[in-house]
Every structure is written in C-alpha cells, then in structure tokens.
Amino acid sequence: MTIDLRRRRIYGILLDIEGTTTPVSYVRGVLFPFARVHLRGCIEARRDSREMVQAVRELATERAAETAGAKEPPAWRSANLNETLASAAGYAEWLMDRSRSSPGLTRLQGLVWDQGYQAGELRGQVFPDLPAALYRWRAAGTETSIYSAASELAQRRLFESVEDADLTPFIARYFDTSVGAKTDAASYTAIAARFPLPPKELLFLSDQTSELTAARAAGLQVALSVRPGYHPQPDADAFEAFESFEQIVG
C-alpha cells in the first residue's frame, strides 16, 4: 500500500515511536531494562533537581490514588526526603514489574534515559529508512512530529543520539502523555489544535490499532505500521498498513 501525501492533502505526519520509528526490541530489550537497573541511582543523583522533585510528586499523587486490590502497591513513607525517594523508587519498580505506565513513571524513566544518553551508555535506534523519509517529507513541505508514551525529554534524546545522525532538526513537535492517553480521541484533538492544519490533513502512523482508532475518531488520517517485531493487532484489517516509510510518498 502506498500513501500519496499530496494526493490525500496530508501536510503533517504524527509518528509513534515503538514499532513505528524504532524497533520494539530496542524499547523493550534496551530502554526498559536500563531504566530498571539505573532507576535508584538516577533518583539519588538527581534528588535535588526540579525535574526529579516533580516526578516524585507525581508518583506520590498516583500512589495515593491507588485502590486496594489483591496486590497492593508498596507503602509510601515520607517522614524525610530519604524515605520519600525510597518510596518513589519502590512504587516505580512496582509499576514496571506490572508493565503499567503513569505520568510520574514516564517522567522518571525519561530522566533515567536522559542520564544514559548523556553518558553515552545509550544510543538512539531507528529503522534504517527513517532518516531518508524525514528528509524527503520535509523537502516536500510536510511537517513531522512525534507522539509517544515516552516523555518529551526521552524522545529528544533518542532522536538526537542516533548513530551518524541527529534527527531532531527534522522533527517539528514532540508530544507525550501529558497531553492525554494515546487511546483517547481527545488527546489527538488537543494535538491537532497545535498545528496550523485541520485534523484531516494530519496522518498518524502507529503499530497499535487502539491508538489509530482514537486518532481516526478525532478526524486524523491513519495507517498501521507493520514493521519488524510487529505483534498482530485486533481489527487490523480496518486500517491501511505499510511496511516501509518508502510507501509514504509525496
């Protein structure tokens, strides 16, 4: 399947990261384990920074909102700063163990990855056809932006540290889940409002049909990313699919 941007009057592209710009194996096999191993060290190293204070506050609020269940989260103790930081680490690890996400955890993971990228322990990975596609789309007058569950900081670090290429000059905007959940149509409505374009002139690419459904409900055009590492999705037949960015032309 080929998507002709000009023929469809598409002037903005919104990209998911995991499974779309970047191999799932990098996100789940490199980034997630790195965050798990280095989380406590990063909390300690950045304990007094504004960004860490904000992440810990968000985690405290989220922990307080947890409802009792069969497996309750670890207790939150805050008699002093050390207890608060230890509680934040324990709750974040509890969330990661259950493959759960939250704004606080996303922010904290972004700080851990930021530290890794800056130290040279992490290098961003993208599919080989992405750099040429970004260049081609910009040359055609099409803006490219990112919408990911990863924090905006983590997104920037990933794309600026790709081997032999800083891709950030080709990316106009970054959106994370502070704008809303990726399965909520209101999130895409809010994102579209940041563009000088109507939603129908934006194309959202993702490997998750639940996200594509939400974006379509907000009026965006959508296509399913079927890249290496793709996991079959429900209702996939309801969406146009592509296997390479070379199929996104115009």
In the numeric block, which tokens belong to residue 137? 């789309």
Task: Decide if 93 contacts 59 (C-beta within 8 A).
Answer: no
Quick check: 223 pLDDT over 70? yes
Quick check: 131 pLDDT over 80? yes
In the numeric block, which tokens belong to residue 189? 């409505």
Which residue is associated with the tokens 């000088």? 196
pLDDT band at 24 (very low <50, low <70, confident <90, very high): very high
- % of the chain with per-residue pLDDT over 90: 87
Q: How far is it, in rounded angstroms, from Cα 103 to Cα 171? A: 23
Chain segment 107-120, per-residue pLDDT in tens = 999 999 999 999 99
What is the average per-residue pLDDT within 221-225? 98
Quick check: 82 pLDDT over 90? yes
pTM recorded for the entire structure: 0.92
Chain segment 34-66, per-residue pLDDT in tens = 999 999 999 999 999 999 999 999 999 999 988
Quick check: 67 pLDDT over 80? no
Q: How far is it, in rounded angstroms, from Cα 69 to Cα 72? A: 5
- Round the average pLDDT of the chain to a whole number and report it: 94
For the chain, the 3-state helix, strand and coil shares in percent, each to the nearest 5, are: 50, 10, 40
Q: Name all domains of the chain by residue range, CATH numbers in brackets.
A: 3-22+125-249 (3.40.50.1000), 28-119 (1.10.720.60)
Which residue is associated with the tokens 């599919």? 127
Query: Among 68-82, 156-170, 207-221, whose mean pLDDT is lowest?
Result: 68-82
pLDDT band at 101 (very low <50, low <70, confident <90, very high): confident
Please give the helix or strand (H or E) that residue 45 lies within, else none.
helix 32-45
Cβ neighbours for 82, distance < 8 A, ≥ 6 positions apart: none
pLDDT band at 68 (very low <50, low <70, confident <90, very high): low
User: Residue 202 pairs with which residues in a beta bridge?
Assistant: 12
In the numeric block, which tokens belong to residue 145? 């932006």
Query: Among 78-82, 91-95, 228-232, whose mean pLDDT is lowest?
Result: 228-232
